[in-house]
Amino acid sequence: QVGTPSVTTSIGAEAMKGSLDWNGFIEDDLEIFTEKAVLLYNDKSTWYLAQQNGVKIINERYSAVKFADDFIFLIEKIDLLVHRQQNFIGQILNHHTVQSTKYMSLWIAEKNRK
């Protein structure tokens, strides 16, 4: 929202920028990494250029306008009941979420009884 440039590693930038220029620097060497962070902080023109690159990344790679229709179509197309029945990990997570609430309630009731 405020357009803050960044310095990150190649893993940090992975799959985020596509073929666009990064909004700062991508550096895996620790010493150069810190030099680039200082450069961004001290050099206004470098900061603003990186900031513009960040805006471009957001607008071209993460714009809701580009993805909203396809996303909504996929959600509407999914048969939620079948999807949830086939999602074993989701079933486990849901079960344990419910169980944790149950046991927390029992613990509170027991604590208040004393």
- Alpha-carbon distances of 68 from 37, 75, 78, 79, 84, rounded to whole Å: 35, 11, 16, 19, 23
User: Which pTM value belongs to this model?
Assistant: 0.60
**Tell me: the pLDDT tens digits for 8-67?**
999 999 989 889 999 999 999 999 999 999 999 999 999 999 999 999 999 989 888 888
**Looking at residue 47, what is its pLDDT?**
97
